[in-house]
Amino acid sequence: MKLSIIGASRGIGRKVVTEALERGHKVTAMARSMETATTHHENLTTLSGDATNATDVAAAIDGADAVILTLGLPRDASVLKPTTLFSDATRTLIAAMETNGMKRLLTVTGFGAGDSAEKLSTPERLIQKALLGRAYADKDLQEQLIRDSALDWTIVRPGILTDNRKSNAYKVLVEKETWRNGLINRADVADFLVTAAEQASHIHQTPALQR
């Protein structure tokens, strides 16, 4: 497949790039600082660009069979300040995908976004609201924009991210009754995203992932 990854310079996005290349896919990887990326591969195209810029996004998704959006706040951003990064980037991306007749979008938000907030314990809810409330308010809006689109979307909600090695033994919790917050490796989130793109699975679902 040809996969476009937006937010690809670090974290989950970077792991998605590695996983997709290992499986033989052609990858376009975009973030603002892709020029510092050290991965080189004949099937990898890197683009430095801003996910809120329509021209950059159009270039990043050109010809893709599926787009994987793994944005996080910039390193120098305060999580305590309001942000519109997730909703702005998502609006830009949906418009670009619809203009180009593209359908398949997989994105990462987080456990506590949208209706998964109901499944946080009271201490978890208080901590998330105090520390990440502003970011999650924008992730809520991001999820709603995606749900309101005509795309074949999958919204992945990992719990607390770790950098352990890929386990191949994580749980994909699709039904609301099963949703729980918990640890999950970034490499396992990447494994799920690439597998779901390949299999066109979990369309219009919001799975939580857990180790």
* Residue from 4, 145, 158, 210 binding ligand NAP (CB under 6 A): 158
Distance in angstroms (rounded) separating the CA atoms of residues 6 and 207: 20
Strand duo 160-162 + 183-185: pairing? parallel
Report the residue number, 61 or 108, with the smaller CB distance to ligand NAP: 108
- Asked whether position 114 contacts ligand NAP by CB under 6 A, the answer is no
Distance in angstroms (rounded) separating the CA atoms of residues 40 and 46: 9
Alpha helices per DSSP H over the chain: 11-22, 54-61, 85-99, 122-148, 186-199
Alpha carbon 48 to its chain centroid, in Å, reads 18
**Residue (of 105, 128, 106) closest to 116 by Cα position:** 128
By CB under 6 A, the residues from 2 to 61 that bind ligand NAP are 7-13, 31-33, 50-52
Query: In this structure, what are the phi and psi dihedrals at residue 94, rounded to the nearest 5 degrees?
Result: -60, -45
Report the residue number, 107 or 149, with the smaller CB distance to ligand NAP: 107
Report the residue number, 66 or 193, with the smaller CB distance to ligand NAP: 193
Report the residue number, 9 or 149, with the smaller CB distance to ligand NAP: 9
By CB under 6 A, the residues from 180 to 199 that bind ligand NAP are 186
Interacting residues with ligand NAP (CB under 6 A): 7-13, 31-33, 50-52, 70-72, 74, 85, 108, 110, 158, 160-161, 186
